[in-house]
A and B are shown apart, each in its own frame.
Chain A
């Protein structure tokens, strides 16, 4: 089959690789009909996440048709499914509590050696996102082996197009969970740092959950425009002093909840060099750590901090004092995708949520490297790339 593979920093190629097979009883094999490049794929592209091997197949947002099923799979050949990027067994303590991204059983035991010293415990396996999250081949390919196919994939009935439901795989539930973690009450203001796909879906979700106003912060004109069209007030941080502005836009109180949809994933996974990496990069990377610090300074006393943005290592100059003295709550985590897919599919079917506004470019899988290049270097215009295999 054809698949987008990693060859080094800023070097991804579409190669011919062996087709996947059923390996475990609960597996299914999916023929991919649509897949997307995620903002977090750019960190792999930048070569800042260790544990990505030459030849690894990338991609964790994908959907397609079931072509093969293991004997314990509940899927049927021919069904159209969207596959969550989190691989979850559905049987362990965490899955039973719907903490799917904390699944105990999907990250292969021998792949957990790096994550345990770094985080204390390994998290669930993820598709196409380095050996640290299990080394599972990803979805920017013609076919994907999907483990625990009786738990993850959601069957899509006839009706909605692929583009309308594809983002159930990651960014739509991620934006939704970010807003849910804000515990929005009547009259609340939610401020969102970062108008990438997750930030924009968080804006949309927070408004749906009844926020009085949502303030979106970025500097790309096109992305701010998308936020404005969703109903947000916007701040261009290159033009405006953000801390002063959000205070003045909330009657001097500050936002009730803040969302860091930027993250700082690039700052190292290895325990021994993570601290150093942060220190080395402080001149370049300070803006990114800056978002979380600024959000904590901006939020009102007793407010909520929601952090869907991905972090991998350590952060220095964390405003512990402001956090404690203001009595804040902090909620974060990789998205528990399976918890949200059914409810969000219903909202898409009922016309409550549209996700297609985000898609700026559609390319055949063969042109995926061009998609990476432009999504990386022209973020204002390239807001989301959808790839179609076999075209």
Chain B
């Protein structure tokens, strides 16, 4: 008991009571928590949700981001459109150019202040009309890997396209620039791109509210 309080010689006020009760509850809570944390927890089986929706944001060094979209077109058509990488810049707004030489693809990505980032990838595996998996190679500005898969949607709704990208958030000045490109809102960017893909495949055009070609 401190000097201030001993000097006051008064009874227990409402505030003191609340304080004591509060402290007591806190202590009881702490004891309960300590008790619980010492109990061996029964193993929880994994749920059915895709890993990227986990509350855990990182997998090792990799940040993972992904998104699904259902496109009301046949699976073969959607796959073929994606597999022709020159189509990708039609719905990926940051991709300025895509060049393919053999199984090696070079992506030129527009960065702020007129600069560009170059990503070089190689297809690791692919199954026609089902899946394309790629990984970055030596000399790429970003260490990344990704997968896009195509499945029939139920009830004749077309094709479910699921795109997942993992990348190592880079460091340094270049890294900051890249982080601006990819790290800020990778989910939003992925969503924009898949929605534009859907627009293009379903309607033949990408919706815009521009009133003039030059706007």
A309 in the interface, Cβ–Cβ < 8 Å? no
Selected contact of B192 from candidates A19, A21, A25, A110, CB within 8 Å:
A110
A-chain residues with CB within 8 Å of residue B212 when the two chains form the complex: 18-21, 23
B-chain residues with CB within 8 Å of residue A136 when the two chains form the complex: 209
Interface centre among B158, B198, B210 (most CB of A within 10 A): B210
A-chain residues with CB within 8 Å of residue B210 when the two chains form the complex: 23
A134 in the interface, Cβ–Cβ < 8 Å? yes
Does more than half of chain B's interface fall in helix, strand or loop, or is it mixed?
loop
The answer on a CB contact under 8 Å between A92 and B208 is no
The answer on a CB contact under 8 Å between A25 and B204 is yes
Nearest CB of A to B197, in Å: 10
B48 in the interface, Cβ–Cβ < 8 Å? no
Nearest CB of B to A117, in Å: 10
The answer on a CB contact under 8 Å between A108 and B202 is no
* Bound-state Cα–Cα, A14 to B29, Å: 66
A93 in the interface, Cβ–Cβ < 8 Å? yes
A111 in the interface, Cβ–Cβ < 8 Å? yes
The answer on a CB contact under 8 Å between B211 and A26 is no
* Bound-state Cα–Cα, A136 to B215, Å: 13
* Bound-state Cα–Cα, A137 to B72, Å: 28
Selected contact of B203 from candidates A26, A107, A109, A112, CB within 8 Å:
A26
B-chain residues with CB within 8 Å of residue A19 when the two chains form the complex: 212
The answer on a CB contact under 8 Å between A125 and B207 is yes
B179-215 interface (Cβ within 8 A of A)? 188, 191-193, 195-196, 198-199, 202-213
A-chain residues with CB within 8 Å of residue B204 when the two chains form the complex: 25-26, 72
Selected contact of B209 from candidates A92, A135, A148, CB within 8 Å:
A135
Number of A-B contacts (CB under 8 A): 82
* Bound-state Cα–Cα, A21 to B211, Å: 6
A96 in the interface, Cβ–Cβ < 8 Å? yes
Nearest CB of A to B62, in Å: 25
Known: A72-B204, A91-B202. A109 touches B209 (CB 8 A): no
Interface centre among A89, A109, A111 (most CB of B within 10 A): A109
The answer on a CB contact under 8 Å between B211 and A109 is no
B106 in the interface, Cβ–Cβ < 8 Å? no
The answer on a CB contact under 8 Å between B205 and A108 is no
Residue-wise, chain A 66-109 has the 8 Å CB interface mask toward B (1 for contact) of: 00000010000000000000000111110010000000111111
A145 in the interface, Cβ–Cβ < 8 Å? yes
B94 in the interface, Cβ–Cβ < 8 Å? no
A196 in the interface, Cβ–Cβ < 8 Å? no
The answer on a CB contact under 8 Å between B202 and A23 is no
Nearest CB of A to B201, in Å: 9
B118 in the interface, Cβ–Cβ < 8 Å? no
Binding site for A on B (CB under 8 A): 70, 72, 157-158, 188, 191-193, 195-196, 198-199, 202-213
Q: A21-B212, A92-B202 are in contact. List 5 more A-B contacts (CB 8 A).
A: A23-B211, A23-B212, A25-B205, A107-B207, A109-B192
User: Which 8 residue pairs of A and B lie closest in terms of their CB atoms, listed nearest first?
Assistant: A109-B195, A109-B192, A24-B205, A135-B209, A20-B211, A89-B203, A136-B209, A91-B202
